[in-house]
Amino acid sequence: MLYVCSKTHSINIHPCMKKLIILTMLYFWLITGFAASINQSAGDRGMALLRTNLINNILKDKKPDEMIAGICRLIQPDGSFSDLNYTDKTRGGWPLTDHLNRLLAMTISWKSPQSSYFNAPELKIYLFSVLDHWLKNDYINPNWWYPEIGIPRVLGQIMVLLKDDLSEQELQEGLKILGRAKMGKTGQNKVWLAQNVIYQSLLTNDFKMIEIAAKSISSEIIVTQIEGIQPDFSFHQHGPQQQFGNYGLAYAADMCDWAIIFEGTPFSFGEQKKGILRNYLLNGLKWVDWKGVFDISACGRQLFPGAQTGKARSLETIFRTFTVADPAYKTQYLAAADNFEGNIHFWCSDMTIHRRAAFYSSVKMASNRVAGAESCNSENIQGYHMGDGATFFYQSGDEYADIFPFWDWKKIPGITTFQDNSVLPVLNASGYRIKSDFVGGVSDGLNGLAAMQFFRDSLRATKSWFFFDNAIICLGAGIRTGLNKKVTTTVNQSFLKGEVLISQNGKKAVLKNGVHELNSLNWVIQDNWGYYFPGGARVEIENGPRTGAWNRVVAPMSDKILDSSIFQLWFDHGTMPQNGSYSYIVLPGSTPENIQKAGSAFKIISNTEKMQSVKSKNGAATGIVFFQKGSCTISPKMILTSDTPCIVFYTLSNGKEAVNISDPTHLQTYVTLTINRRTSIKTGGAVSYDPLKNLTTISVLLPKGGDAGRTVTIQ
């Protein structure tokens, strides 16, 4: 019996009812306690497996034993290394990180059963001397990245390996340093910080924090329009800026590792997450690796010695390693570094790549949507024009290998810019954008084109690149400025290899080293690359010795003067041009016997500010850039008209026609095309026919959101 006293609000409970309540509560406590025990046990098992997987993943990078002896010879009595400057505060490429990198190598050898140093007492003495030196001194770099990411990232792995061997003081001193890593940031920085929190939490047995950090890592495996993997499977960091080879490469490596480390734990990546990573690797990153060389335009600001080959090796390691995490696609990963053929335009990053079995070419642009390049930590301090249509050509892969100290940075291949004696401004980490939204490309998967209305620093130009099988046709028009400065367009600037052959007014010759102004030039051949000038052209060539130093590119690097030989080819548009133009065709595998025929296989239909258009004379392909609405005569029986600015790539193969179209402004909803004859449409648009005018009208719905700028194909 239960009742409430209105005066005291107390409750009286019958003795039998009281026993029942006690038994119920006891049962509830037992059940919840048992459930908590199960959850705790599951957490312990998950954490134990995670730690095992992590240790195995670190130990797979076992260093050669011969490295260890060399490292130990540099160790001084206080645990420092004799060849390191411990007062160094360089913000980028901090040399003092070598202390921890060497310590990690020592730790891996001491902990790896496959190493001849496994559990070696002598190595243990050296190892803990080096560890204690760092823990005691706690070196700090003024660049936030090192205290919060770079140092905890390496020290965390060392401490996880040594957990059972650390003294309490070493553990606490190490945790203090690791504690600087807090959850936050975006993109790859977010991933780095989260993994550092996992290292810390494994040392403190904090399963809940591991769970939060693991979810943070997994949350970055998304397709996004902010920082991270883009809808076109390029990668952005520091705003809308293509970062394939810097943050994007680190992201791929880390996600590959964590996919393996999390396998079998409560944090395993599901099929959807693996599918996103798979697409990023196979439809994004793999495009920028050519014969073991990373495309310069994919390296970001990290134009260091050996960067192009080092990044390519890292990517190829990622492909091999990801076969473990995603074994069903092993064949595709192992073939990813092959010299496959194709053409792609990354519409989120304003970059086009064209590949054939024998060569590779790319164009990197900027727009009012996408940043062109960055400088940070005194890196890439000359890269002011790296997104102004930088165009690179590779056959051997050695064309630009570590060329950066020797470059004239106002003559980056492909760019149109001012020439004067002023020092180039140094960019910041957010890079720069140009005052144009008409920047983009179109591709049918095998061929395509890129185009930009360039407007920067009071200089205007319309520029297009047409990728037709084994040729790249480059057009420029409307080049003008109100400034009293000389303007040039650079065709190429690469290492000089062998002779420079030319044909001038039909007469062949070999150029001696020097600077040459050449009129009525038909073609140039250098290092198996041919440069064909339809109708002849006035160009300038510089070939011969040049000196340079790495500190011109990355300020903290060596000022030692180096020697090389450079080939440079450019158009001089004169001072304060008002309607400058250029046209040239780049042909791989050129010889004096084949270049004329190869270059004559194309017809330039138009090269103006309103329209730039090229067709192959066999009628197989026509590229059109409608900078304004207009019409293009593809053939006597085929006039294509667009009611709005757009880019079109028309193909005819075995009687089958296709029109590939894109909106480089990313702003339009529809494009209406008309053709002066009757035609039917299988896919890609709505069609109507006017028999009186004999006109077919095709209305094309353009992609929006993250797909704005993507190619639409009309069959």
* Higher-confidence position of 234 and 42: 234
Q: Which residue has the tokens 């892969």?
A: 397
Q: Which residues pair with 696 in a beta bridge?
A: 675, 689
Note the CATH architecture for domain 345-714: Distorted Sandwich (2.70)
The domains of the chain are located at 3-34, 345-714
Residue 31 pLDDT grade (very low, low, confident, very high; cuts 50, 70, 90): very low
pLDDT tens track for 247-295: 999 999 999 999 999 999 999 999 999 999 999 999 999 999 999 999 9
Query: Binning pLDDT at 50, 70 and 90, where does residue 9 land?
Result: very low
Nearest to 448 by CA among 459, 458, 440, 460: 440
Condensed to tens digits (0 to 9), the pLDDT of residues 639-650 reads 999 999 999 999
Strand extents, DSSP E, 277-389: 289-290, 293-294, 342-346, 351-356, 359-364
pLDDT tens column, 200-257: 999 999 999 999 999 999 999 999 999 999 999 999 999 999 999 999 999 999 999 9
More confidently predicted of 680 and 422: 422
Query: Alpha-carbon distance 655 to 64, whole Å?
Result: 60
**Residue 504: both structure tokens together:** 């001038």
Query: What DSSP assignment string belongs to 113-137?
Result: TTSTTTT-HHHHHHHHHHHHHHHHH
Helix, coil or strand: residue 226: coil
Confidence band (pLDDT; 50, 70, 90) for 636?
confident
- Between CA 169 and CA 177, with CA 174 as vertex, the angle to 5 degrees is 135
Does the pTM surpass 0.75? The reply is yes
Residue type, 105: A
Output the CA–CA distances (angstroms, integers) from residue 377 to 143, 188, 208, 404, 553, in the order listed: 8, 18, 36, 17, 12
Dihedrals φ, ψ of 49, to 5°? -65, -40
pLDDT for 30: 44
Q: What are the pLDDT digits (tens) for 85-109?
A: 999 998 888 999 999 999 999 999 9
Choose the weakest-confidence range: 23-27, 199-203, 627-631.
Answer: 23-27
Tell me the per-residue pLDDT of 363-377, one tens digit each, with 9 for 90 and over. Answer: 999 999 999 999 999
Work out the number of other CB atoms within 10 angstroms of the CB of residue 220. 22
Give 64's pLDDT tier (boundaries 50, 70, 90): low
Is residue 92 helix, strand or coil? coil
Q: What is the DSSP letter of 711?
A: -
- The string of DSSP codes covering 263-296 is TTSTT---HHHHHHHHHHHHHTGGGGEETTEE-G
Average pLDDT over residues 521-546: 97
Give the pLDDT mean for 541-564.
Answer: 96
